[in-house]
Chains A and B, each alone.
Chain A
């Protein structure tokens, strides 16, 4: 059996006295493209945030590349994943500054050369190069989503976590994103989406509502 890139076992999450996730079991293989579906509020975004250590786990375990996610390992394991949040908030400054900022972090400094890929990725995501000098706060929702995706791709992580990453995109832009991600075979992608086209290109669709409490 192929080793799982991400392995979630009996994951239960509760917030403010309400159970968000109940005994979730999920294994995602290397290079697999998995889409999480299910009704709103079933915990899809929470699951992605759990993988990054942003949500306290009530019980269960998460392993990334075989390594158990703990408060000690999370700082290193985040370096194996890239995340595009729903309605990304990119902070302050110009688009170029936002794209360069992660490379000022000690762990990413060796990847500084990746910034040379910006023009090519902008083109693939149908964004003009002039956007680099715009302030991120002036961007439209769709532009912000694509810049957040671009920032994630520049980091060269093997695992990509996408939370409704195409929700603000028009048809053409959405297709450009799908084409770009489909072409990067080495990526393991776990995405949350309600979008039929997005779900259509996934290797596997996991309905999280149905999964709660059952083995995948």
Chain B
């Protein structure tokens, strides 16, 4: 079974579908037309670039080139997370980067070395898409987790300080906020896991089927990737929070307000 290739002309015709939401936007007078067009252009350019680049990486099939590409993906995800959280980049980027690296590598290596097995498992063809899927989900979960954690702390700072006054260590005082953030960040992944296959056909399974694999192989891949994603998100969120805490509190245990971009702007 071969995948039907899409010619660039036919792909171009696919963009015509976008006219439907754009027309609705104009009718509703929602000022999102420019934003949507820009997003569509960005998506196209980014994916074309990645497509060309991946062709090279797959052709090279060197572990170094694959590792370097994964590293670039982690750095881009790192910067997107910190920007998405509206927090000060310099304070958080290091911690989030390390969290992402560990959170992606642990399930990825587990997946390719134990689940897939065989010498081909370390090929770019497996490492990059699987790593990318784990990373993409970590990105979403990290934004939810980090945002929930620091926003809850900012809103309930008095309760947090009361815990310190009652003799809590930093770790003890932060524990309820960590609990809340971790739960909030994992809830979407758990919901997706419990409805997978019923509500939507998951991405990896679709990919394997389109690539000519049989549905049973596709399902096995899908189960393994869902577990890897869940482990990756669980790990990165907890690590990202724990590691960013190191740069976000004073030695006295108080939350550094300079961490929040909007407050720093207000003061300046």
Contacts and interface: CB of A to CB of B under 8 A. Distances in A.
B159 interface: yes
B162 interface: yes
A89 interface: yes
B172 interface: yes
A182 interface: no
A71 B252 contact: yes
B168 interface: yes
Contacts of A78: 164-167
Interface stretch (A52-60, A117-125, A203-211): A52-60
A88 interface: yes
Interface string B116-159: 00000000000000000000000000000000000000001011
Q: Which of B158, B172, B250, B252 has the most CB of A within 10 A?
A: B252
A207 to B, nearest CB: 25
B162 A105 contact: no
Interface in B156-208: 156, 158-159, 161-169, 172, 176
B251 interface: yes
A92 B176 CA distance: 9
B159 A54 contact: no
Nearest to B166: A102
A106 interface: yes
Contact of B162 (A74, A83, A104): A83
A170 interface: no
Contact of B169 (A72, A85, A106): A106
B84 interface: no
B23 to A, nearest CB: 46
A155 interface: yes
A126 interface: no
Contacts of B165: 52, 54, 78, 81-83, 85
A168 interface: no
Given A56-B252, A75-B253, A104-B172, 9 more contacts: A52-B161, A54-B164, A74-B252, A82-B166, A85-B161, A87-B158, A89-B158, A105-B166, A105-B167
Interface of A: 16, 52-54, 56, 71-72, 74-75, 78-79, 81-83, 85, 87-92, 101-102, 104-108, 148, 151, 155
Interface of B: 156, 158-159, 161-169, 172, 176, 250-254, 267
10 contacts: A16-B267, A53-B253, A74-B253, A78-B164, A83-B162, A83-B165, A85-B158, A89-B162, A90-B159, A91-B156
